[in-house]
């Protein structure tokens, strides 16, 4: 995959954004750095002193004590879970592209710098960091969509996922292979991710923590595959954002930059490159921690920024998501995962494997009752070969998905 910075996507805003508003917002987001690293793909990574990061400006964190390490971590709870863990093996190495030109020193955090063009592409300071939705109303399709879990309720968003719900969950661990899917429309995206959720979308109080990889040309200005996080406390209305694009996620690692490109990616029939992600709730502080790969924990979402998730998640979801704007009145050709259907299997389809969830005893256990959800199986599909792994994805528009 060639990493390139592409020309800004042409838009025709009704009014140009005032430079003063953009500059003020950039001063809020981009904290002074002790070192700056220029990535080969055009990103700028700032090494920000850990106690000066943007998250700590959150009004709910005024009396928050920075946690450098989690006080508790989950263990593998059963003999079968331990046995599955020992058989997991090591993944082919994934790195972030900016590492080619340097690393951040200790006592700093690596933060992708936001530019004025990033904000202009989105169209407003208020929308920056938020998710895009509300495309033209999708046309009725046959067969009728299966009932879907509580997370997937927004128009235009299509999913192929496995999930657990109607219980209390305190985290999850999974391995995902990484691809660079084609994204057709400038407002569309393709994602492979984990969701932890509580509350209700329909009631406007849905809390989510979301982590994975994505291709999002409108947001990042290119077609690179990038590591991302997202959170919301009110069903994507006014709170939450991607990465460090608002006040929320507290980072403690200097090794990983949220929103930065990850490389290399998997090839169809070739080498599969993977990322390992673990999210868990510290049973002492109630903060939700994130671990990327085998490195030290990356950071956490403080319990104070959530309502329902301050206690526990009531559902976990793993899988793919795309945004379909039905360009020219047809289903999008935006690919999910590798662009191949789940039935293509090993070395061809996108997958989640080594899936565990964290129970109330702070133990990692493998699920025995994964359910699946796919709205339009002629466009994207999912297949579960065993209890803690599955394939998913698809090409989008094709002869059976017009």
* pLDDT tens digits, one per residue of 27-55: 999 999 999 999 999 999 999 999 999 99
Residue 91, pLDDT score: 61
Question: How confident is residue 197, by pLDDT bands cut at 50, 70 and 90?
Answer: very high
Phi, psi for 34 (deg, rounded to 5): -90, -15
Average of per-residue pLDDT across 186-212: 95
Contact 392, 160 (CB under 8 A): yes
Average pLDDT, the chain: 89
The residue-averaged pLDDT of 318-335 equals 95
Query: Tokens standing for 26?
Result: 């950039």
* Active-site residue set: 210, 321
Over residues 339-346, the mean pLDDT reads 98
Mean of pLDDT values over 69-94: 70
Is 12 a residue whose pLDDT tops 50? no
**In the chain, what percentage of residues exceed pLDDT 70?**
86
Give the closest residue to 395 by CA, choosing from 349, 352, 351, 353.
Answer: 349
pLDDT band at 81 (very low <50, low <70, confident <90, very high): low
Give the per-residue pLDDT at 251: 98
Are the CB atoms for 241 and 122 separated by under 8 Å? no
Whether the predicted pLDDT of 3 surpasses 50: no
Banded model confidence at residue 126, pLDDT cuts 50, 70, 90: confident
pLDDT at residue 267 greater than cutoff 60: yes
Question: How much is the average pLDDT of 85-112?
Answer: 83
Alpha-carbon span 192 to 180, nearest angstrom: 11
Cis peptide before 264 (omega within 30 of 0): yes
pLDDT for position 326? 92
């Amino acid at each position: 995959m060639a990493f390139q910075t592409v020309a800004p996507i042409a838009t025709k805003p009704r009014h140009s954004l005032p430079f003063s508003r953009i500059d003020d917002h950039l001063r809020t987001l981009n904290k002074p750095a002790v070192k700056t690293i220029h990535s080969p793909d055009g990103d700028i990574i700032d090494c920000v002193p850990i106690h000066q990061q943007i998250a700590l400006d959150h009004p709910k964190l005024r009396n928050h004590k920075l946690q450098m390490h989690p006080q508790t971590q989950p263990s593998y709870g059963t003999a079968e879970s331990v046995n599955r863990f020992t058989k997991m093996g090591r993944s082919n190495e994934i790195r972030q592209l900016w590492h080619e030109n340097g690393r951040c020193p200790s006592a700093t955090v690596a933060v992708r710098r936001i530019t004025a063009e990033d904000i202009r592409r989105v169209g407003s300071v208020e929308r920056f960091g938020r998710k895009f939705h509300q495309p033209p109303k999708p046309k009725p399709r046959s067969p009728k969509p299966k009932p879907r879990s509580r997370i997937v309720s927004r128009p235009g968003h299509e999913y192929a996922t496995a999930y657990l719900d109607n219980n209390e969950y305190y985290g999850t661990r999974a391995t995902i292979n990484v691809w660079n899917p084609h994204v057709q429309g400038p407002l569309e995206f393709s994602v492979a991710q984990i969701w932890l959720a509580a509350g209700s979308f329909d009631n406007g109080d849905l809390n989510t923590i979301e982590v994975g990889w994505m291709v999002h040309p409108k947001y990042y200005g290119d077609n690179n595959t990038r590591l991302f996080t997202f959170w919301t406390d009110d069903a994507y209305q006014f709170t939450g954002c991607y990465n460090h694009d608002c006040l929320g996620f507290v980072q403690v690692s200097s090794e990983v930059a949220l929103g930065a490109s990850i490389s290399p990616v998997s090839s169809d029939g070739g080498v599969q490159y993977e990322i390992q992600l673990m999210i868990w709730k510290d049973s002492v502080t109630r903060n939700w921690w994130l671990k990327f790969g085998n490195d030290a924990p990356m950071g956490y979402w403080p319990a104070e920024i959530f309502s329902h998730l301050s206690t526990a998640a009531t559902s976990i979801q793993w899988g793919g998501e795309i945004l379909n704007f039905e360009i020219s009145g047809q289903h999008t050709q935006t690919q999910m995962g590798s662009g191949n259907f789940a039935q293509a299997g090993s070395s061809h389809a996108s997958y989640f494997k080594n899936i565990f969830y964290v129970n109330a005893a702070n133990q990692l256990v493998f699920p025995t009752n994964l359910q699946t959800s796919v709205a339009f199986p002629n466009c994207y599909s999912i297949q579960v070969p065993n209890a803690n792994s599955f394939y998913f994805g698809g090409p989008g528009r094709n002869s059976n998905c017009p």
